[in-house]
Amino acid sequence: MMLRIGALAAGLIIVIAAVSMTLGGAVVTLVVLGLVAGVQRRRGRRMGAVMGWWTAVIAMTLVVWTALGVFVTPAEYAKARDSMAQQEQQPAPPLPTFLRDLPGGNIPPPRLPASLAGPMFLFTLFLGGQFVGALFGSLTWGGAWLVVYGVRGPRPLAPLTEETALPTV
């Protein structure tokens, strides 16, 4: 019983922290988790741990991408693109001596064409959104599972049927 109370308390702390760190975005993830669990229950199945994790990560990633799409205005995009293009025009700092002494150490790195600065910025936002979505989706998923464990207790084992029973010798 103490384990369930501890799991419930830890889960609530984690979920509240995730909701506050994502400015409410984790609430969307919790709603999606509940909807997917309901659909699975109607189909006569359980939502397993892996399915729950993927659901939470994908939902949070979509929330982050939506927030990036709303808050990154075209003016900010143009400013970031121009900044990246301008940084490519700056001369590269000199390599350390030990790198210059290596074979091919005097070959300068390739320059990024200015036409690729915009797509590279968008690609960076895309990957950053995936990383943040995975981070906070995992946090929300873990907290939700701890809360469910604290409320319901351990899941009962599936009944043995002819398909799931071990073969007899």
pLDDT, tens digit, 9 for 90 and up, residues 13-58: 999 999 999 999 999 999 999 999 999 999 988 888 899 999 999 9
**Four-CA torsion 8, 10, 16, 18, nearest 10 degrees:** -120
Q: Is residue 147 part of a domain?
A: yes
Q: Which residues of the chain have pLDDT under 50?
A: none
Token representation of residue 44: 């006569």
Looking at residue 31, its pLDDT comes to 96
Indicate whether 12 belongs to any domain. Answer: yes
Please report the pLDDT score of residue 17 as a whole number. 96
Determine the pLDDT at residue 106.
74
Cα-to-chain-centroid distance, residue 117: 25
107 belongs to a structural domain:
no
Whether 30 maps to a domain, the answer reads yes
* Six-digit token string for 69: 């799409």
Instruction: List helix spans (H) across the chain.
Output: 2-21, 25-42, 49-71, 74-89, 97-100, 117-152
**Measured distance CA(57)–CA(141) in Å, rounded:** 8
Range of the domain at 64: 2-88+114-152
What distance in Å separates the CA atoms of residue 134 and residue 132, rounded to the nearest whole number?
5
- What is the model's pLDDT at position 113? 79
**SS3 for 155?**
coil
Contact 140, 30 (CB under 8 A): yes
Torsion sign across C-alpha atoms 29, 152, 160, 42: negative
What is the residue-averaged pLDDT of the chain?
87
Domain presence at residue 165: no
What are the φ/ψ torsions at residue 136 (nearest 5 degrees)?
A: -80, -25
109 lies in some domain: no
pLDDT, residue 158, reads 63
Identity of the residue numbered 44: G
pTM: predicted TM-score of the whole model, two decimal places: 0.75
Q: Is residue 133 part of a domain?
A: yes
Confidence at residue 52, expressed as pLDDT on a 0 to 100 scale: 95
pLDDT of residue 90: 80
CA Rg, the chain, in Å? 24
| pLDDT (0 to 100) of residue 169 | 62
Q: Supply the pLDDT for residue 95.
A: 79
CA atoms within 13 A on the CB side of 157: 5
Total number of domains in the chain: 1
The answer to the question of residue 14 being in a domain is: yes
Report pLDDT for 166: 62
